[in-house]
Structures are given as C-alpha cells and as structure tokens.
Structure 1
C-alpha cells in the first residue's frame, strides 16, 4: 500500500478516537484507543483502495508525493549569511 497521511484525534462529541486518511475522502474509522482506531482505518483504507482499483473512482496519489521538495541543505544559505545580507 502506498503511504497515505493519517490523522488520529480524540472526538469529544463521539467520545472515541477517530482516524482519517484525508487523501482517501471519505475514509475514516474510530476506536476506543488510538491504536484501535488506526487498526480499523487500515482495514477501511485497504477496502477503499480495492474499490478505487476496480475503476469505481479515481485512484489518488498520496499528498506527500505532491508536496514540492525543498532544496537540499547543501544549496541553502546558512541563516547567518541571510541575516548579514539583509
């Protein structure tokens, strides 16, 4: 499975832990513990991706692969050099 971002948080309204995969909207699960919510989400994600692979919907790329990369440190100016230049 590709690496998709996962968000786990407590819901006061539902009194459970929620785990979501924002790239696979709607794909979420809940549990009594963060670990249980995450385990349930992994099952939901596999099923979501199976449906997408069948052609029922678009197959998304993980958002992390769409984020532009920062230049490597070797090409960046040190902060001291930037401060002096201003």
Structure 2
C-alpha cells in the first residue's frame, strides 16, 4: 500500500507491546503488536480499513502531515 499517512510506533512498558497511533485519523486510531513488525503490519491493516470507511461514508480524507526540515 502506498500511503503518505503518519504512523508513530512506540514501545509501551505498561502494555509490554509496541503501540501505533495514526495521528491524522484522531486520538482513537491506535493498534499494537508484540513486535515492531507486527505493530507495523497491524497499523497498515487499520489504515486500509480507515481509508475504506471514509470512502464508503463519503467523508473527505484527512490531509497527510508533511515533514518539513527546519
């Protein structure tokens, strides 16, 4: 999948798992995985699902955040 949406992958000591947030889709767009790779795969699946849901509902997609060097 080619996407320009952000994924933030962080280790959670509390959950003992990698937690992924998808910032452009709001505070509740999260998933996790036992390994970094699993967390990334799960995030890709969540992102695909979100994109499909937005399109089915006729909602405009959020603008991808763009990194700008200082």
Q: Structure 1-normalised TM-score?
A: 0.67
Distance 1:14 1:56 in 2: 35
Paired residues, number: 67
User: Where do 5+ consecutive residues of structure 1 fail to align?
Assistant: 71-86
Match of 1:52 among 51, 54, 69: 54
Query: What corresponds to 1:5 in structure 2?
Result: 6
User: Whole-Å Cα distance in 2 between the matches of residues 56 and 20 of structure 1?
Assistant: 23
Runs (4 or more) in structure 1 with deviation over 4 Å come to none
Q: Who is 2:38 aligned against?
A: 36
Q: Is the 8 A contact 1:23 1:63 kept in 2?
A: yes
Structure having the larger proportion of residues in helix: 1
Q: Show structure 2 runs of 5+ residues with no match.
A: none
* Offset at residue 58 of structure 1 (A): 3.7
Q: Distance in 2 between matches of 1:13 and 1:63?
A: 28
